[in-house]
A and B are shown apart, each in its own frame.
Chain A
Amino acid sequence: MISLTDFLIVSAVLFCIGLYMIVSKHNAIQILIGIELMLNAAILNLVAFGKYDRFNNGGQMFALFAIVLAAATTAVALAIILNVYKQYKTIDPGKIDKLKD
């Protein structure tokens, strides 16, 4: 049987990879991918724990919701990124600093 810990470890690694991408990348799309990775890590945790909730099926339900939400955010985020690009000719969030003093 696959133990719960194994899932958690995999999801932790995935989470950290996503985190790394978010912090380090200079490309908004890659940052978005990083966010997705982190979401997926979370979903994996939900699913893994959901195994022990047969009657309410909470884990799986929320996994589904999270997937749907991810889809929605991605769509909006992409639209924003495209707009930003039109405006600033870059998608490096570090360079969009018009509000800076």
Chain B
Amino acid sequence: MNLAQMLFYVMSFIALASAVFVAATKNLVRSIFMFFITLFALAGLYVLALADFVAVTQIVIYVGGILVLILFAFMLSGRETLNAMALQQKQFISIGKLPAFLLAALFLIVLLNMIIKVDANNLEWVKKSIESKNDIPVNAAMTEDIGVGLMTRYLLPFEAISILLMLALVGAAHLSRKGRGA
């Protein structure tokens, strides 16, 4: 077992454990912070999957953007909101949640079953890409490729998403505006 694998297991353990904690904890604030850790661990996993740029983006946007947004929204919205939102009296597995839990567990079983059946390592196209050296070598610097790709091959989605982002920005701003209507 080499270092990469060790790292992978550690990272995935951290990610899953913290995700479970996120799901299980009663305290909203704690769960948000734990989510933070999950995202970090996931970023680590991306690195291990040879996607360093994605990992960085993950940290910048998710951790720096989304999570901060959540926290801000949460903390800026007044004391009573805070209390109401933080109010979590349900246990992790209560009778009311049993169906949800069962559902999730069954989904997990189904998915795992699929994964094992599919046997991803020996997929046809994966094998082909390995043969044709289409896979990413461990030491490749992908950032440049991504940049070029964005500006050429993926230009249209890129632009579309930027418009979407702007719309979302305007919309969010409009929605959270105080005052008339709202």
A-side interface residues toward B, CB under 8 Å?
A: 1-10, 12-21, 23-24, 26-27, 29-30, 32-34, 36-37, 40, 43-44, 47-48, 50-57, 59-61, 63-65, 67-76, 78-83, 85-86, 89-91
A72 touches B16 (CB 8 A): no
Please name 13 pairs of A and B residues whose Cβ atoms are closer than 8 Å in the assembled complex, sorted by A. Answer: A4-B126, A5-B116, A16-B107, A16-B111, A30-B88, A37-B19, A40-B42, A56-B153, A57-B142, A75-B168, A79-B73, A82-B77, A83-B182
Task: From A27, A70, A75, give the contact of B172 (CB < 8 A).
Answer: A75
Q: Is A74 in contact with B107, judged by CB distance below 8 angstroms?
A: no
Residues of B in contact with A, size category: 35 or more
Is the pair A40, B39 in contact by a Cβ cutoff of 8 Å? Answer: yes
Which chain B residues in 19-58 approach chain A with CB under 8 Å? 19-20, 22-23, 28, 31-32, 35, 38-39, 42, 45-46, 48-51, 53-54, 57-58
**B15 contacts across to A, CB distance below 8 A:** 10, 14
**What are the residues of chain A within 8 A of B96 when measuring CB–CB?**
24
Contact (Cβ within 8 A) A12 B175? no
Quick one: which of A23, A64, A67 contacts B100, CB cutoff 8 A? A23
Q: What chain B residues lie within 8 Å of A71 (beta carbons)?
A: 61-62, 65-66, 69, 165
Q: How far is the CB of A50 from chain B (nearest CB, A)?
A: 6
